[in-house]
Amino acid sequence: MIGTAMRSGIIRSVVTAFAMTVFGLVGEAQALPLFLVTDLGTLGGDFSDAFGINDLGQVVGVARLANGQPRATLFDPTNPANNLNLGTFGGYFSDAFGINDLGQVVGGAVLANGQQRATLFNTADPANNLDLGALSGTTSAATGINNSGQMVGGAVLANGQQRASLFDPIDPANNLDLGTLGGNFSHADAINASGQVVGFARFANSNKFRATLFDPTNPANNLNLGTLGGDFSRAVGINDAGQVVGGARLANGQEHATLFDTTDPANNLDLGTLGGTTSDATAINDAGQVVGAALNVGGQSRAFIFDSGASSPVLVDLNALIDPTDSLFGAVTLISARGINASGQIVGQGLFAASNQTHGFLLTPVAVATVPEPTTLVLFGIGFAGFGFLRKLRPGFSLQNQLDQERTRAYRDSPGPNRGRMPNVLIL
């Protein structure tokens, strides 16, 4: 009798061989893991999204309560019933964006008066969550934290302009305005172990955004990371080697996932799509593995992985890498990948068929699969278009806009007196 482990190995081998045969793979193939999927559940409601994961596998994001209100959440991948509500400051929503290897969690939470504040969540006692303040205004949100406890995000000035910020947990009066590229807006998305900060900013006399490498010591040295020939870019992730990812527009207006060259924007790398017109990269680990979301040929958003360390890297639909022995194989559509850690674990958002609900997911690598090269890989996207769970992208509406709407939908739908009302939320 064939044992379970042997049977699983045979199934994996057959699926890989079948894919290579059907899709007619040519050229050198790259090795990527297969993954097991974990539904991270909610806080009793019908929605969740996972934004960050540390190297210990701890996952944070946002989830709805039974009453529909969204809360920053520390997920328990072993048992969603133990998901931890990280609380608010008396307001009606909060969300968590980043977690470091010490388990420190940052995000944003709303006060009773409706103002949003950058927050260092206390996972032992939400009553002790720390309000990180703002700049000269009243609104802020934290989006990234490194292992030294440095926290970045955005905050509003008294004149209403938004600035990338480095928060001081000891004294908010020392919160640092990271400047712009000469314009009236900036926002910081991520910070690495060396304290390098990335995000996006406007330059002088323009309403156009550019991916930016901020210099906390002197904003005059903030670096415009360029585009792919178009008029927009945004940097969202940076690893400890200083590799920067995000999205940038081409000359034709399409937005593609991008690996930015911090020494010469002319060498920015277009990571491509899954057969559609749009993609965005959201995170990169120290091995150079990039994750994000891309439209397939059907115009539907799908989570992807891109191994920049491979000899001929290509965007791969993560739905094609779900272990065929997994009980969720064929029962989930991975919409967007948000984070990846040193072990290659990936978090994001997916649609689970059993509940027909959008939940955060955790992918855990279990085996290595041979994956096609660029000449044929787009066909994987076609294969998964049949799920048809996601609405198509509206014309002229970027993928990042669509993903942001999935997040803000949770806030707009909150019940009670705040229903349909958004606080003075930053551009995140």
Tokens of 343: 């072990």
Please answer whether residues 330 and 385 qualify as being in contact, where contact means their C-beta atoms are separated by less than 8 angstroms: no
3-state helix, strand, coil in the chain (%, to 5): 15, 45, 40
Give the containing element (helix H, strand E) for 383.
helix 378-385
* Total Cβ atoms within 10 A of residue 415: 11
- Write out the two tokens for 62: 């946002």
pLDDT tens digits, one per residue of 254-313? 999 999 999 999 999 999 999 999 999 999 999 999 999 999 999 999 999 999 998 889
Q: Is 427 left (phi over 0), alpha (psi -120 to 50) or beta?
A: beta
pTM of structure: 0.85
Weakest mean pLDDT among 71-75, 302-306, 329-333, 388-392: 388-392
pLDDT above 70 covers a percentage of the chain that reads 79
Q: What is the mean pLDDT of residues 366-394?
A: 43
Question: Any residues with CB less than 8 A from the CB of 226 and at least 6 apart, and which?
Answer: 210, 211, 233, 248, 260, 265, 266, 268
End-to-end CA distance of the chain: 55
What's the CA gap between 237 and 244, in Å, rounded? 6
Is residue 221 within 8 Å of residue 214, measured between CB atoms?
Answer: no
Convert the pLDDT of each residue in 297-333 to its tens digit: 999 999 999 999 988 899 999 999 999 999 999 999 9
pLDDT digits (tens, 9 = 90+) for 114-143: 999 999 999 999 999 999 999 999 999 999
Q: Per-residue confidence at 394, pLDDT binned at 50, 70, 90?
A: very low
Provide the CA 178 distance to its chain's centre, in angstroms: 22
Tokens for 377, please give them.
Answer: 């890989």
pLDDT at res. 31:
81
Distance separating alpha carbons of residues 84 and 69, to the nearest angstrom? 14
Is the confidence at residue 417, as pLDDT, over 50? no
